[in-house]
Amino acid sequence: MPVAAPSPSRRRAAPSSVGAQAAPASPGERLGLRSDWDFALHLPLHYVDETRITPIVQLREGRIAVVQARVVQAEIMPARRRVLRVTVEDAEARLELRFFHFYPNWARQYAPGKELRIRGEPRRGLFGFEMVHPVCRVAAAGEALPRSLTPIYPAGAGISQAWLRKAVAAALRRLDAREWLPAQLLERLRLPPIAQALHLLHAPPPEMPLEALEQRSHPAWRRVKFDELLAQQLAQQMARSRRAEQRAWPMPERSGGLVQRLLQALPFALTADQAACVSEIALDLQREQPMHRLLQGDVGCGKTVVAALAAAQAIDNGFQCALMAPTDILAAQHLQRLAGWLQPLGVGVAWLSGAQRKREREAELARAASGEAALVIGTHAVIQDKVQFARLGLALVDEQHRFGVAQRLSLRAKGAGEQRQPHLLMMTATPIPRTLAMAVFGDLDISTIAHSPPGRQPVRTRVFSSDQRREAVKERVRDLVLQGRQVYWVCPLIEPSEPVEGGADGGEPGPAAARPAAGARGGQPELRAALDAHAELQALLGEQAGCVGLLHGRMPSAHKAQVMADFAAGRLRLLVATTVIEVGVDVPSASLMVIEHAERFGLSQLHQLRGRVGRGSQAAQCLLLFSEPLSQTARARLQAMHESSDGFVLAQKDLELRGPGELLGQRQSGLQGLRHADLREDEDLLELAREAAASLLREHPLAAREHLQRWLGAGMDWLAA
């Protein structure tokens, strides 16, 4: 089969500079492929038919074909842009090949008389057909044609198809593809054996209709996807039964206890949804199995008070409760709110942050260790080694998708003693569509707050071209600020490909695992954008420049806290901020948000940002400024923001637009496991896999283990929490 000619883009990896990592990764590693199974499961994107040679006279415009022909002439044309032109002919006709990128020695390699095998897309040129940049090479004498379709694999820059084909074929030869699934199951689901499926996908026979393969609906594809989902469901069901064996301290609710006193002290009544979640959680806490629950609800729906009531129940039973939040702005806000509710009721509260001074920190650590503080609030600082609790009974994790599994586990591990585990309640404002929740969190119980407290005004969202309307928007901001209203001005993300919650704005540096290395690079330009916008808006407000505040991730925590406090108190009226405000910030009087370069943000992120306004009783507005060029998906995102303010609707839309990988953020490692199944299309397979997992664990536990091992190998850890 034709093999790509050496391409100028395939350079040798540059020798790494002093101090850089050791040997450069192999091509396989760069694609994340290590084991034979990794290669076997690296499936083709599409195929080309090289099983037959098409005579040049039979070429059809636009249809990729393989031609075998002799070189008549090869010359480098000294045009403005140099072009290598090679003319070839077979028995009846001529074809012209053109290369714009080439090595000079190609002209010699393709010298007249050489017999070439060429694959490319014919286009009509001045003198009959031509192919631009075909894949071509000198054909060996009497070379046979391949007997199967040629797979085209997903590959990164500098990784050739030829290399991948060889590596995959070698892996397939070594592979232990024993069938672990019972024959009746496969029969019932009409799925082929795995070995057969893999062979067919990597080397389909020439008569195979490509459509079913390329659209991934062929039974062979369904088998692979089913296996993947099955592995995931098995792991989750196993984790669930492991947890059922664990013990926790039961924490009954006492009448007249702290929970009821807190309820009476609240300035509002719980909504029906909140009350329902509170009682689900209260029941969990009374049991001897550790709670493992996700509390989900749209931004601003009121999850904090639900968490506070859970904390009250634990504390009332003589246990400590730890609350971990991803940024120090958010943690500080929790401190303020929860301490405000619980301290008057006699609850001791401790505060832990990475930015704390040593003396202060040690005092707080001592209060956590002695049990004097029943409630410990903080950032990642809460899970550091030094932190010890006297009797941790409940762990609360806010915005859980911001944390890695290991971090959630280590918070829980802080409380393990006497064979008992603390209860765990996680919160998220990134609403997750049902299918996704099942796939990713199959082993979690979920409580949902579907409706926000009454009296909220929906946020009106409008979308404007920055070129045309930015000045007008600035005028409007000035008018509102001069009238005493409060406004957020959100600065653009600079590198949209970076993890959105990048380290730049994530607050204090947490443990390495929490900060993807890539995030750190996004900081400087973003900071610059914020500084520029701040200066520009200060100038706009002239004498009133003093009411323009600035908030970004590089500021010291105390400074950030001061700015937030000034904004909350109304001393600042215009807050220029990076996405540092995305999560959890609660200033109910703010009623307008402007987001610059809104096209660079993801849908759920825009929704989170917008959730900062419309928290009070005032009608609120969100203005999204975009710049051209606007991609189709960016346009669809902005449109969706304009049309809906329902987080669940938007999450569903996001899933459609971007696929699940991005929806839950890069740290949601569970999704890295899903390489093949597409939750938008394979919901039926997910249901089947769920049932199959349960019966397999019951009836064929050995096969279940083998299957899981095959898919997850060493990566099984992520399913534990």
Interface segment toward ligand ADP; rule CB under 6 A; list 166-174, 298-306, 385-393, 515-523: 298-306
Establish if 326 lies at the interface with Mg ion (CB under 5 A).
no
Stretch that binds ligand ADP, among 227-235, 485-493, 584-592, 707-715 (CB under 6 A): 584-592
Stretch that binds ligand ADP, among 228-236, 241-249, 264-272, 654-662 (CB under 6 A): 264-272
Q: Enter the tokens of residue 364.
A: 């707080």
Interaction of residue 302 with Mg ion, rule CB under 5 A:
no
296: left (phi over 0), alpha (psi -120 to 50) or beta: beta
Is 299 a binder of ligand ADP (CB under 6 A)? Answer: yes
For 243-306, the three-class secondary structure string (H helix, E strand, C coil) is: HHHCEECCCCCCCCCHHHHHHHHCCCCCCHHHHHHHHHHHHHHHCCCCCEEEEEECCCCCHHHH
- Residue 401 lies near ligand ADP (rule: CB under 6 A): no
Instruction: Verify binding: residue 665, Mg ion, rule CB under 5 A.
Output: no
- On whether the CB atoms of residues 96 and 130 are closer than 8 A, the answer is yes
The residue among 65 and 338 lying less far from ligand ADP, judged by its C-beta, is 338
Amino acid, res. 606: L
CB of residue 423 vs Mg ion: minimum separation in angstroms? Answer: 19
Q: Which stretch binds ligand ADP (CB under 6 A): 254-262, 314-322, 472-480, 583-591?
A: 583-591
Nearer to ligand ADP, 356 or 452 (CB): 452
Question: Which lies closer to ligand ADP via its Cβ, residue 194 or residue 583?
Answer: 583
Which two three-digit tokens encode residue 589?
């009087």
**What residue type is assigned to position 273 of the chain?**
D
Burial zone of 181 (CB within 10 Å; 0-12 exposed, 13-18 middle, 19+ buried)? buried
Q: Which stretch binds ligand ADP (CB under 6 A): 128-136, 194-202, 302-310, 682-690?
A: 302-310
Give the whole-angstrom CA distance, residue 669 versus residue 661.
9
- In the list ligand ADP, Mg ion, none, the entry touching 301 (Cβ below 5 to 8 angstroms by class) is ligand ADP
Residue nearest to Mg ion (CB): 584
The one of Mg ion, ligand ADP, none whose footprint includes residue 547, by CB under 5 to 8 A per kind, is none
Find the part of the chain contacting ligand ADP (CB under 6 A) among 132-140, 176-184, 263-271, 339-347: 263-271
Residue 329 touches ligand ADP, criterion: CB under 6 A: no
Smallest distance, Å, CB 556 to ligand ADP? 24
Q: Kindly state whether residue 304 participates in binding ligand ADP, applying the rule CB under 6 A.
A: yes
Nearest residue (beta carbon) to ligand ADP: 302
Closest CA to 30 of 338, 337, 21, 196: 21
Tell the smallest beta-carbon distance from residue 266 to ligand ADP (Å). 8
**Interaction partner, residue 431 (Mg ion, ligand ADP, none; CB < 5-8 Å by kind):** none
Give least dist CB 428 to Mg ion, A: 9
Task: Give the nearest distance from C-beta 307 to Mg ion in angstroms.
Answer: 8
Question: CA angle, corner 511, sides to 508 and 516, nearest 5?
Answer: 85
Q: Select 422 or 584, whichever has its Cβ closest to Mg ion.
A: 584
Could you tell me whether strands 548-551 and 574-577 are parallel, antiparallel, or unpaired per DSSP bridges?
Answer: parallel
Whether a cis peptide bond, with omega within 30° of 0, leads into 252 is: no
Task: Assess contact for 424 and 321: CB atoms under 8 A.
Answer: no
Binding of Mg ion by 404 (CB under 5 A): no
Of residues 629, 661, 624, the one with CA closest to residue 645? 624
Let me know if 186 is exposed, middle or buried by CB neighbors in 10 A (0-12, 13-18, 19+). Answer: middle
270 is a site residue for ligand ADP (CB under 6 A): yes
The Cα–Cα gap between 137 and 59 comes to: 19
Both tokens assigned to 218:
């062929």
Stretch that binds Mg ion, among 354-362, 503-511, 581-589, 632-640 (CB under 5 A): 581-589
Smallest gap, in angstroms, from Cβ of residue 271 to ligand ADP? 5
**Residue showing tokens 């091509």:** 27
Residue of 119, 225, 615, 653 that binds ligand ADP (CB under 6 A)? 615
Should residue 332 be labelled a site residue for ligand ADP when binding is judged by CB under 6 A? no
Does 494 engage in binding with ligand ADP (CB under 6 A)? no
* CA-closest candidate to residue 513, choices 719, 669, 711, 354: 669
What whole-number distance in Å separates Cα of residue 323 and Cα of residue 312? 12
Residue 300 as a binder of ligand ADP (CB under 6 A): the answer is: yes
- The tokens for 292 are 């493992």
**268: contact with ligand ADP by CB under 6 A:** yes
- H and E: helices and strands count for the chain: 25, 24
Q: Which stretch binds ligand ADP (CB under 6 A): 152-160, 270-278, 497-505, 675-683?
A: 270-278
- Rounded-to-integer distance, Cα 563 and Cα 311, Å: 29
Applying CB under 6 A, among 193, 453, 496, 525 the residue interacting with ligand ADP is 453
Count interface residues toward ligand ADP (CB under 6 A): 18
Q: Per rule CB under 6 A, is residue 27 in the interface with ligand ADP?
A: no
Please identify, using beta-carbon distances, which residue of 71 and 299 lies nearer to ligand ADP. 299
> Backbone dihedral region of 230: left (phi > 0), alpha (psi from -120 to 50 degrees) or beta?
alpha
Does residue 523 belong to the site contacting Mg ion (CB under 5 A)?
Answer: no
Q: Does 303 bind ligand ADP (CB under 6 A)?
A: yes
Q: At 617, which amino acid appears?
A: S
- Listed ranges 110-118, 293-301, 408-416, 544-552: which one lies at the site for ligand ADP (CB under 6 A): 293-301
- Least distance CB 572 / ligand ADP (angstroms): 19
Q: Which residue, 302 or 348, is less far from ligand ADP as judged by CB? A: 302
Identify the CA nearest to 392 among candidates 368, 409, 361. Answer: 368
Of the two residues 201 and 376, which places its CB atom closer to Mg ion in the complex? Answer: 376
Residues in 513-542 at the binding interface with ligand ADP, rule: CB under 6 A? none
652 binds, among Mg ion, ligand ADP, none (CB under 5 to 8 A by kind): none
Q: How far apart are CA 568 and CA 581, in angstroms?
A: 13
Tokens of 346: 């006699």
DSSP string, 9-76: T-PPPPPPPTTS-SSPPPHHHHTT--SHHHHHT---SEEE--SSPPPGGG--TT--EEEEEEEEEEEE
User: Which residue(s) pair with 247 in the sheet?
Assistant: 420
Residue 49 binds: one of Mg ion, ligand ADP, none (C-beta under 5 to 8 A by kind):
none
Helical pair 194-202 and 161-174, crossing angle rounded to 10 deg? 160
Q: 120 or 584: whose CB is closer to ligand ADP?
A: 584
Q: Which of 2, 122, 151, 302 binds ligand ADP (CB under 6 A)?
A: 302
CB closer to ligand ADP, 120 vs 302: 302
615 is in the binding site of which of Mg ion, ligand ADP, none (Cβ under 5 to 8 A by kind)?
A: ligand ADP
CA–CA separation, 407 and 281 (whole Å):
22
Our finding on whether 584 is near Mg ion (CB under 5 A) is yes
Based on the shown chain and the rule CB under 6 A, indicate whether residue 271 belongs to the binding site for ligand ADP: yes
Q: Does 429 bind ligand ADP (CB under 6 A)?
A: yes
Residues in a beta bridge with 317: none
Q: Which residues contact ligand ADP by CB under 6 A? A: 268, 270-271, 274, 297, 299-305, 429, 453, 584, 586, 588, 615
Q: Which residues contact Mg ion by CB under 5 A? A: 584
